[in-house]
C-alpha cells in the first residue's frame, strides 16, 4: 500500500483483497497466475449482485486495481487485467451540518456527566477547528499553544498543519486540562491531550460512543465529521474563501472543498423559497 494511508484505509484495502481472494478460491482459482479477464468480469457482476453500495463497489475495484499494479511492479504477474475496470459513478451527497442552536444542544447533552469537561472540550474543539476525529485523538498536550491559541495536528498522509482555536474552544480546553485531565492523568508520562477515565489516550471508538449519546439526546444523527462539516459551512457563510477552507481542513484537493459551496447555495435557495417577494 502507498505510504501515508491511514490505518483505517489500509485495513479496508486488506479486507477488500481478502474478499477477492476468497471469491477466487470459491471459483477454484487458487493461483494468482490463473486469474483471467473473465474472472474479473464475473467478480464485478458478483459485487453488483450483492447489492453493495456504489461507494463500496468502487473501493473494492480500486483496491483490486492498486494491488494488481503492485504485482506487476514487482514482477509477480506480467499481464495487465484491471485497466478496463471502471468504478461506478458516485452521487455527491451534501454534507450534513448543524446550526449554532444544535451545537448548543450537543453541549447540553453532556452536561452533568462525569466527563463533562472533557466532552465539552471535544465538541468545542471539533466545531472550532474542523479537525478529523483521528487528528483529535492524536493531539498531544504539548501541541497546544495557549498563548497563540493554536494547535498542531497531523492529518492524512502525515501532513502537519496549524489550526486556530476559537475563544470558546480555548476556554473549554483550558478548563478540561486543569480539571478532568489533571485529575485523571494518573500516568505522568501520558502525552495525549484527551484521555479516558483510566488515564490512557482516548480512542476513536470512545469518541463515536460519545456522539451516539449526543445523537440520542438531540434526536438527530451527529458524528465527529458532522462538526467538521458544520465548521466548514459556518466559515464559508461568514466570508471565508475556498482556499482558506481547504488549508484549514487539510484537503489535498480543492475539488473536495468545493462540495461545501453546494451546501451554502442550497441554504440560500431554501431561504429565498421562504421569502415572498
pLDDT tens track for 84-109 = 788 777 666 656 888 889 999 999 99
> Is there a catalytic annotation at residue 84?
no
Give the whole-angstrom CA distance, residue 198 versus residue 203. 12
pLDDT of 1 higher than 50: no
- pLDDT, residue 16, reads 93
Give the whole-angstrom CA distance, residue 77 versus residue 253. 33
Domain map (residue ranges) of the chain: 7-73, 100-274
Q: Which of 106, 127, 138 is nearest to 218 (CA)?
A: 106
- pLDDT, residue 272, reads 37
Write the DSSP assignment of 32-76 as a string of letters.
GGG--HHHHHHHHHHHHHTT--HHHHHHHHHHHHHHHHHHHHTTS
> Is there a catalytic annotation at residue 225?
yes
Is 201 in a helix, a strand, or coil?
strand
> Is there a catalytic annotation at residue 156?
yes
pLDDT tens column, 26-67: 999 999 999 998 899 899 889 888 888 888 888 999 999 999
Give the whole-angstrom CA distance, residue 20 versus residue 139. 36
Give the burial class of 170: count Cβ atoms within 10 A of its Cβ; 0-12 exposed, 13-18 middle, 19 or more buried.
Answer: buried
Indicate the pLDDT class of residue 277, thresholds 50, 70 and 90. very low
pLDDT of 227 higher than 80: yes
Catalytically annotated residue among 156, 174, 201, 220: 156
> Is there a catalytic annotation at residue 132?
yes
> Is there a catalytic annotation at residue 54?
no
Indicate the pLDDT class of residue 126, thresholds 50, 70 and 90. very high
pLDDT of 241 higher than 70: no
pLDDT tens column, 167-224: 899 999 999 999 999 989 876 688 999 999 999 999 999 999 999 999 999 999 999 9
**Most confident listed range (21-30, 88-97, 245-254):** 21-30
- pLDDT, residue 267, reads 53
- pLDDT, residue 236, reads 75
Catalytically annotated residue among 60, 132, 184, 229: 132
CA 171 from chain centre, in angstroms, equals 25
- pLDDT, residue 8, reads 73
Q: How many residues does the chain have?
A: 277
Catalytically annotated residue among 13, 176, 180, 260: 260
Place of cell 494547535: 151
Give the whole-angstrom CA distance, residue 276 versus residue 57. 45
Could you give the dihedral angle defined by the CA atoms of residues 59, 250, 160 and 188, in that order, rounded to the nearest 10 degrees? -90
- pLDDT, residue 268, reads 44
Fold of 100-274: hpI Integrase; Chain A (1.10.443)
Catalytically annotated residue among 60, 118, 184, 251: 251
pLDDT of 2 higher than 80: no
Beta-bridged to residue 145, according to DSSP, are 150
Is this structure's pTM higher than 0.75? no
pLDDT tens column, 129-168: 889 899 999 999 999 998 888 899 887 777 888 888 888 9
Beta-bridged to residue 35, according to DSSP, are none
- DSSP, res 145: E
> Is there a catalytic annotation at residue 260?
yes
- pLDDT, residue 276, reads 44
48-to-55, 149, 193 alpha-carbon distances in Å: 12, 50, 44
Amino acid at each position: 500500500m502507498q505510504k501515508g494511508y491511514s490505518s483505517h484505509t489500509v485495513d479496508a484495502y486488506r479486507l477488500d483483497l481478502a474478499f477477492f481472494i476468497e471469491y477466487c478460491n470459491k471459483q477454484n482459482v487458487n493461483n494468482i497466475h490463473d486469474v483471467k479477464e473473465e474472472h474479473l468480469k464475473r467478480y464485478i457482476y458478483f459485487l453488483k449482485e450483492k447489492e453493495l453500495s456504489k461507494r463500496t463497489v468502487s473501493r473494492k475495484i480500486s483496491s483490486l486495481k492498486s494491488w494488481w499494479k503492485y504485482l506487476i511492479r514487482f514482477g509477480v504477474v506480467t499481464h495487465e487485467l484491471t485497466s478496463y475496470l471502471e468504478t461506478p459513478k458516485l452521487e455527491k451527497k451534501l454534507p450534513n451540518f448543524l446550526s449554532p442552536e444544535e451545537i448548543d444542544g450537543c453541549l447540553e447533552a453532556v452536561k452533568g456527566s462525569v466527563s463533562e469537561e472533557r466532552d465539552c472540550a471535544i465538541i468545542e474543539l471539533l466545531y472550532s477547528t474542523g479537525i478529523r476525529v483521528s487528528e483529535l485523538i492524536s493531539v498531544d498536550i504539548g501541541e497546544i499553544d495557549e498563548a497563540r491559541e493554536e494547535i498542531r495536528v497531523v492529518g492524512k498522509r502525515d501532513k502537519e498543519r496549524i489550526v486556530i482555536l476559537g475563544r470558546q474552544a480555548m476556554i473549554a480546553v483550558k478548563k478540561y486540562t486543569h480539571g478532568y485531565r489533571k485529575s485523571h492523568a494518573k500516568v505522568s508520562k501520558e502525552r495525549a491531550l484527551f484521555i479516558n477515565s483510566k488515564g490512557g489516550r482516548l480512542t476513536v471508538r470512545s469518541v463515536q460512543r460519545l456522539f451516539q449519546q449526543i445523537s440520542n439526546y438531540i434526536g438527530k444523527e451527529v458524528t465527529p465529521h458532522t462538526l467538521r462539516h458544520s465548521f466548514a459551512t459556518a466559515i464559508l457563510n461568514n466570508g471565508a474563501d475556498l482556499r482558506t477552507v481547504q488549508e484549514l481542513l487539510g484537503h489535498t484537493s480543492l475539488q473536495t472543498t468545493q462540495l461545501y459551496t453546494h451546501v451554502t447555495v442550497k441554504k440560500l435557495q431554501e431561504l429565498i423559497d421562504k421569502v415572498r417577494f
